[in-house]
Amino acid sequence: MTRIGIILGSTRPQRNGGAVAEWVHDIAVRRGDAEYELVDIAELALPLLDEPIPPLAGMYQHPHTLAWAERIARLDGFVFVTPEYNHSVPGALKNAIDYLFAEWNDKAAGFVGYGPVGAVRAVEHLRLVMAELQVATVRAQVALTFDADFVDRSEFRPTAEKAELVGSVLDQVVAWSQALEPVRRKAAS
């Protein structure tokens, strides 16, 4: 079965992302079209990239990198749940992505952003990063704003329309993950 990781990209204390990622995961697991796994990068506690050899070589040396590589390698696609910091991707998420290379390749990704303007600029940056990693990004995305989807910028209360958008993201990520399976199989041989 297709395996999709829902990657929570914020490590900030008191983050809103936990509620958002759980909501996406709850919607996903009710579908039955794939296996869904919540991946919280805060739990990884990755230091700033500390591998002596660039990730492109795939010669990881540290146990935390090897564990992260194994976790990403077994997934077929991703839904990134991200806030926007200073018009871009949170540093901790970018760091976690930068640790690996081949483990990301030939997979699909979708995005759920949250923040004052729905993290649309962070998602655009993530699309560029994913392209370099040979990840196909899907068109559908969810942009959750503090004005419409949170009470007092902290209590998450998404609208039904946003839940439908999550469904569209998941539809596309699963379809593209499955479509890329022969490419992944060929690359592995």
Ordered by where they begin, the domains of the chain are 3-188 (3.40.50.360)
Rounded (10°) CA dihedral 37, 40, 41, 43:
-120
pLDDT tops 90 at residue 38: yes
Tell me, what's the pLDDT at 153? 84
What distance in Å separates the CA atoms of residue 95 and residue 51, rounded to the nearest whole number? 12
Span 150-184, pLDDT tens digits: 998 889 999 999 999 999 999 999 999 999 999 99
What does the alpha-carbon distance between residue 103 and residue 180 come to, in Å, rounded to a whole number?
14
Q: What number is the average pLDDT over the span 126-155?
A: 95
The two tokens of residue 1 are: 């079965």
* Phi, psi dihedrals of residue 78, rounded to the nearest 5°: -145, 150
pLDDT at 3: 98
Number of helices and strands in the chain (H, E): 8, 7
Q: Indicate the pTM of the whole model.
A: 0.97
The residue-averaged pLDDT of 139-146 equals 97
Phi, psi (deg, nearest 5) at residue 65: -70, -45
Q: Quick one: angle between helices 160-179 and 181-188, nearest 10?
A: 40
